[in-house]
Structure 1
């Protein structure tokens, strides 16, 4: 069965920021020798370098923003590969295999967790019975900590995403069976990947999801997968708008990254 929601027919609001650390085998050239060229080169890959700072003689920390179709592994490949090319003459094999990439946002994981947890109170239903029904289908896995990095083949990564999808205009789902099915299909989709699902804030007319995806998963692929899984509950009818929001977050916010630059 063909997916309803695709990259071609959906629009996206997004704020995707990443902190990336690369480690040299020896001292690395000063960024004044390569930063502007690197920015121009990675821009073609959909990776915008906002800042670059030497944390030591052989460690560089980048702050980058990306489009939704870029995964953390894509970002590492773009920045590391293109920088290696630029400094190939003095450093033909400049970098170690390991890296550290971490999602960051304007709000950290604790703030977003509280925000999603408070959605039922923020959008109360007029009918007390319906309100109780909505509250009963909320999901929270306390064992999932979306501020902690995971370990991949060559590095540590954090790909924590906030996802918001809205129903089509005028559609409010208050039926218990359907609400339970939507919750269940999101949980199962995350289990299959596997993604670390922390919260589902399920309302009558929209849904919030907080999860940690794999290093090879782009935000776009994660959201479209969930949206199409939800469509299965409604026999592949487009119950959701052809648009969504996705943002990154982590254990600390961009304010901390800015302070580290000083």
Structure 2
């Protein structure tokens, strides 16, 4: 068993370096070797360079390297430099100490992979940005179960919304398995899930997502009233909804991605 695959060894490692898991960085270190193996298997094949965000103490980093991946690990917490230099000693990893939200993702090689236990507080903006770049062949990451549910939700469900549609526009999404709090140290208060996104190559569509964000901006309202409140001419929205055969009291969560695309086209074509 890896020396990083038990709460006791992780606690001892942190104490030896005079460190602690810092909530500001969303640090919950994965300490389940079974789940480490499953994440690595879900990420295969390593057809391009792997980027890991939030390597923490290096457990997943090491597992990826030992499986033959070419890894760049991006860590914001400078306190962890001596720990990572110890736990990854002798391994061919590229360590970058930087805020992942400031990393030049648009410049990574085409066909790159993301494999990460993402800090919960940056997961949504980071995944959104990575999908927009069009540079990734696959993204495999841990997030809060609630966020995973939002990424993979179906229409007419409470979890369905802007994030669901953003992910669906760019990729095929899979929620592979859930992890209990005890798989991490310290254990979080919520369950986590492993998500795998396989991009389809669809480029960003700012006009579509202005519409989507407006539609969900006032979720309790009808789609007609939500879009009117966001500045879309009410008569044009009514006409576009009629053309799609949608009732005037339809709500945003009832439309799938294709329906939003058709609505956007209808609004552009309405006179």
Greater length-normalized contact order (CA 8 Å, ≥ 6 residues apart): 1
Q: Comparing both structures, which one devotes a greater share of its residues to helix?
A: 2
TM-score range, shorter chain: under 0.3
TM-score by length of 2: 0.23
Q: Comparing both structures, which one devotes a greater share of its residues to strand?
A: 1
